[in-house]
Amino acid sequence: MKFSYVCNDCGREYRTDDIMYQCPHCSKENDGTHFPKGNLRVIYDKQDLERLKEKEHVTCYDFFPYEIPNHDAYPVGNTPLARPVRLNRESGLKNTYCKLDSALPSGSFKDRASQLIVGQALAHGQTRIALASTGNAGAAMSCAGAAYGLEIVLFVPKTAPINKLMQSVLYNATVVPVDGTYDDAFERSIEYTEAFGGINRNTAYNPMTIEGKKSVSIELFEQLGRKAPDAVYVAVGDGCIYAGVCKGFYDLLQAGLISKMPKVICAQSTGSNAISQAFLTSRKVPMENPTTRADSISVGLPANGSMAVDYIRETEAWATEVTDQEILDAQLQLTSKAGIFVEPAAACAWAAYAKDLDKIKKELGEDACVVVLLTGTGFKDMAAFDGRVSIPPAIENSKAAVLRRFGR
Ligand SMILES: Cc1ncc(COP(=O)(O)O)c(C=O)c1O
């Protein structure tokens, strides 16, 4: 679909098909003392969106700015919507669903952004994509690169979690560990694309990362029988997934396919709560030394913080903060009572939902349709269970040992 860009801060519109990263006016002000300015929203003509109303079924591809050739090569989307019936019985909210994006090809939600970046690269004749990541985005882009034969150059802080990095190495990306932080890796990746060309896929810096992530909302609309849920819980670090979810519903609203926005709840860890605090205090400033066991959402200066805060207000939603202990408890609750195995960052969304049960009942009613977005598989971070769960010792290989083991 034909698109243009609009700056989230100054509202300038850029009518171009070229690759754009940030608003050249507003991004000049970025010096690390406040949330970055100048992030771009991708927008469409309302008439083009309204035409989609005539279709019996819509998919994200109807709402994308670029075509995705051979999308079965890297099958992103159509993730299961599980109804955790045991947990719903306990909570009294029977219409709660878990969106299992842990089932995407590389095991995290980040595949959604990487898919659209593939479309952008191919449309512009580019075969090289560079990015910075602490793990999941890098693994997702590398996975896409392997599927399409694209060269992926991945800058990572040298301390990044090994499990996630191994994926990227196995997918055959060029992995460049940097002796510095994620922010340093971010800068190095931009210097790389400026010197060697290709596309830069940094989260939120490339507006197509936000746009790709909206696919989940289009999918939810169809999966729920062509309606939006009342609320969606999203774990937030940089605020890019959060904004993508909101953008998907916003496009559906523009198309006339839904009549109101769902409340999109921002779930953060108390140890990394820059966006939640900016929403509460109206001060868009970074957090020093964020620390949470949910490494994927440990962010001091959120790359899409400003847009995320704006969307919390636009969807008349709220932010819920949870402790690391609540996150880890939620992870075990989902595993043992719903058979859903997710990494700590994803469990943050469930922890916030579990904390908000009374609020949901009061504000949205007991019949509310709530979706909790589960953004990454538990296999990404098995170390999260160290010291919490252990495998029982082996029994002797005999019938007597079996009887003894079970008390006979
Ligand atoms: C599993 C998982 N959940 C949630 C998030 C948060 O996304 P964002 O940084 O866009 O807020 C991330 C980001 O890396 C992630 O990997």
- Reported pTM: 0.97
pLDDT for the residue 26: 97
CATH number for the domain whose boundaries are 73-107+211-385: 3.40.50.1100
User: What residues does each domain of the chain span?
Assistant: 73-107+211-385
| Confidence at residue 342, expressed as pLDDT on a 0 to 100 scale | 98
pLDDT of the residue at 161: 81
In the structure encoding, which two tokens stand for residue 322, read together?
Answer: 């949870």
Give dist(CA 142, CA 162) in Å, integer.
15
Write down the mean pLDDT value for the chain: 96
> Read out DSSP for 361-393?
HHHH-TT--EEEEE-BBGGGGGGGGTTT--PPP
Q: Is the CB of 298 under 6 A from ligand 1?
A: no
Instruction: Please enumerate in sequence order all residues whose Cβ is within 8 A of that of 162, keeping only pairs 6 or more positions apart, or say none.
Output: none
Regarding the beta carbon of 374 and ligand 1, being less than 6 Å apart is answered no
Using the 8-state DSSP alphabet, how is residue 159 labeled? T
Rounded CA separation 337/333 (Å):
6
Contact 274, 256 (CB under 8 A): no
Give the integer Cα–Cα distance in Å for 175 and 154. Answer: 5
Q: What share of the chain is helix, strand, coil (3-state, %, to 5)?
A: 45, 15, 40
* Nearest atom of ligand 1 to the alpha carbon of 108: 1
Q: What is the pLDDT of residues 111-164, one digit of tens each?
A: 999 999 999 999 999 999 999 998 999 999 999 999 999 999 999 988 888 888
DSSP string, 76-126: -----EE--HHHHHHHT-TTEEEEEGGGSTTSBTTHHHHHHHHHHHHHTT-
* CB of 113 sitting under 6 A from ligand 1: no
Nearest atom in ligand 1 to 133's CA: 14
The C-alpha atoms of residue 5 and residue 18 are separated, in whole angstroms, by 10
